[in-house]
Structure 1
């Protein structure tokens, strides 16, 4: 049976009383007939940790605003919301590094001066046309891209030469 301050557990003719006190301690008194789970006749005291940081950790690193609302709703005990202990785990999780500075220079002065080329494959499944590779060519100046699909890797040299001829005639 329960009331706001005391919970009584009875088993095998014995009883155990658990009581919360106003100073945040738990008092346990009790005896069971068979000695199972026996608490000696003496009183045992255990302090309840009602610090903000403790509840923050117990509730999966909940934010201060969540804890304040839970406390106001009576779900959590009253606690000092002005406490400002740092949580090492939360600090570590929020760590970031600064981005590398943007490079604001142009390597090339005209289209076709520098191309970036990627040859990818072989892919385990052939395309409908029987191709297993693709060649991606990007012009550094214009960022224009060409993609060519290849059956074999050795077709890449001829395809690059073809793209160069095509580029010069544009």
Structure 2
């Protein structure tokens, strides 16, 4: 956001500066900016220096030795910091010996994950409205999470159901890890397919299951 309240898109973030001199880490690249803006507070902290302003311009001094590092004359209503023409991007290594630079642009895949997996058209609208800076997406990008989310579960296989009470009975015998106080360790559950009514019979041994089922069928048949 700039001084008039409007927002400008940021295309990348990187490190820049002059080799062996001033460091400018975490530079925001905004192509629509008319002037390059510098935070004096961050500049002095990153470079262990101080900046003095007067009517003629500004002077950058080393914080420890108070030695003058750079002097720039003031032109117009603003203080202009003119770095040496040999300024070049620097790396993030502590020694700053390498002149390799890096700049990162947030990919469309990253924006897709950050914003809750929106579609390609939604990302294009956000990018067109300058809400985000997103490269154009391609059909080659396939999101595994979206593929799983759009899967349709196969239907259950067709099965027949009873049309009258006791036409079809389901039985299940299961064992309890701990016997009851009365000594029951097994339980026989009988379920009527039509009414979904169920009966539970406690058993002391598994061998009682057959006789219990026989008595149940004799009971429902009367």
Q: State the TM bucket, normalised to the shorter chain.
A: 0.5 to 0.7
Deviation string, structure 1 residues 49-70 (Cα, Å, up to 9, x no partner): 233323334x4x73339989x9
Does the CA-based 8 Å contact 2:169-2:190 persist in structure 1? yes
The answer to whether residue 117 in structure 2 is matched with residue 63 in structure 1 is yes
Aligned to 2:109: 53
Equivalent in the alignment of 2:152? 96
Structure 1 counterpart SS, 2:101: strand
> Of 179, 191, 211, which aligns to 1:126?
179
Distance 1:119 1:38 in 2: 74
Quick check: 1:29–1:41 contact (8 Å CA) kept in 2? yes
* RCO higher in structure (CA 8 A, sep ≥6): 2
Which of 17, 20, 25 is the aligned partner of 2:24?
A: 17
What root-mean-square deviation, in Å, do the aligned CA atoms of Structure 1 and Structure 2 show? 4.1
Return closer, same or farther for 1:168/1:47 CA change in 2, 3 Å cut-off: same
Unaligned runs of 5+ in 2: 1-12, 32-87
Alignment of 1:125-164 (within 5 A): 125-164=178-217
CA distance in 2, matches of 1:83, 1:152: 67
Q: Contact 2:190/2:200 (CA < 8 Å) preserved in 1?
A: yes
Consecutive unaligned residues of structure 1, counting only runs of 5 or more, are: none
Quote how far apart the aligned CAs of 1:168 are.
Answer: 2.1
- Displacement of 1:109: 5.2
Higher Cα Rg, which structure: 2
Change (3 A) 1:154 1:109: same
What stretches of structure 1 move > 6 A for 4+ residues in a row? 5-8, 65-68
In structure 2, do the counterparts of structure 1 residues 132 and 22 end up closer, same or farther at CA, with 3 Å as the change threshold? same
Q: Secondary structure at the match of 1:160?
A: helix
Query: How far has the Cα of 1:83 moved from its partner?
Result: 4.6
Q: Please give the alpha-carbon distance, in whole angstroms, between the structure 1 residues aligned to 2:194 and 2:91.
A: 83
Separation of aligned partners in 2, 1:120 and 1:155: 13
Counterpart CA distance in 1 for 2:154 and 2:98 is 61
Tell me: CA distance 1:143–1:37, structure 2 relative to 1, closer, same or farther (3 Å).
same
